[in-house]
Chain A
Amino acid sequence: NAGVTQTPKFRVLKTGQSMTLLCAQDMNHEYMYWYRQDPGMGLRLIHYSVGEGTTAKGEVPDGYNVSRLKKQNFLLGLESAAPSQTSVYFCASSYIGEGWETQYFGPGTRLLVL
């Protein structure tokens, strides 16, 4: 099992450019999440999905869109990148349990917006 994988590992964008980050999991998890991590800020939830075809906003959704067309994939899009979106992005997935269960994280994508 590869677990949770993220593509790409690193990207440099110019302000105004768009891009899509891909997250894939092979654990048949229902829930998937996108976080950003900035120095001193911990992890902040951008969007999440509780199943194929469903998405919901997290704490910091502005400037991002997501899609969950397939159960194993969760895409994070930046339509018009801004320097404030320079960050490390982590994807995670979890199974359905008694509540919000253990999350399995990908290795991260480092994004630099110039």
Chain B
Amino acid sequence: SQQGEEDPQALSIQEGENATMNCSYKTSINNLQWYRQNSGRGLVHLILIRSNEREKHSGRLRVTLDTSKKSSSLLITASRAADTASYFCATDGGSGNTPLVFGKGTRLSVIA
């Protein structure tokens, strides 16, 4: 099944630095979503970007989408210790018949 793949699998940065995570997928999509999961918790939606959009912002988050390369990136600026979590991208099947498929995630550690 189509699946977004996040890169890197793990990322460790200092507080205040920017964190960039990437997601690649295989087939056409209607939208791509990013979620955050704190340890032991459920996933929380961060941003949804549609296939006709190239960039979206939400607070310290910036998401880009390049449909020609079938890739997306999530940038967290001025990271904080509270940003420590796993981040997942999720893609739909493009045809509208396939529910979201989640990648395996990037584990971000922000060191104070």
Pairing of A with B? yes
Number of interface residues, chain B, beta carbon within 8 A: 26
Stretch of A14-22, A39-47, A62-70, A78-86 at the chain-chain interface: A39-47
Residues of chain B contacted by A4 (CB below 8 angstroms): 42
Which of A33, A41, A45, A99 contacts B30, CB < 8 Å? Answer: A99
CA distance A20 to B28 in the complex (A): 36
A48 interfacial contact with B, CB 8 Å: yes
Chain A contacts of B98 at CB under 8 A? 100
Output the least CB separation between A75 and chain B (Å).
18
Which B residue sits closest to A107, measured CB to CB? Answer: B42
B45 adjacent to A103 (CB under 8 Å):
yes
Contact B42 A90 (CB under 8 A): yes
Given contacts A59-B1, A90-B42, A98-B50, contact A42 B30 (CB under 8 A): no
A100 touches B41 (CB 8 A): no
Asked if A100 and B88 sit within 8 Å, CB to CB, the answer is no
- Distance (Å) between the CB of A108 and the closest chain B CB? 6
Interchain CB contact (< 8 A) of B99 among A40, A58, A102: A58
Q: Which residues 100-114 of A sit at the B interface, judged by CB distance below 8 A?
A: 100-108
Interface residues of B (CB under 8 A from A): 1, 3, 30-31, 33, 35, 40-45, 48, 50, 88, 90, 92, 96, 98-105
With A42-B103, A48-B99 already in contact, the answer to whether A100 and B45 are too (CB < 8 A) is no
State in angstroms the CA–CA spacing of A108 and B103 once bound together: 18
Most buried by A among B44, B92, B99, B102: B99
Chain A interface extent, by class: 20 to 34
Query: Closest approach, in angstroms, between the C-beta of A114 and any C-beta of chain B?
Result: 21
**B40 CB → nearest A CB, Å:** 8
Measured CB to CB, the closest approach of chain A to B46, in angstroms, equals: 10
Residues in chain B near residue A44, CB distance under 8 A? 102
Please give the distance in Å from B47's CB to the nearest CB on chain A. 9
User: Inside 8 A of A102's CB, which chain B residues have their CB?
Assistant: 33, 45, 48
**Nearest-CB residue, chain B, relative to A40:** B104
Q: Is the CB of B30 within 8 A of A107?
A: no
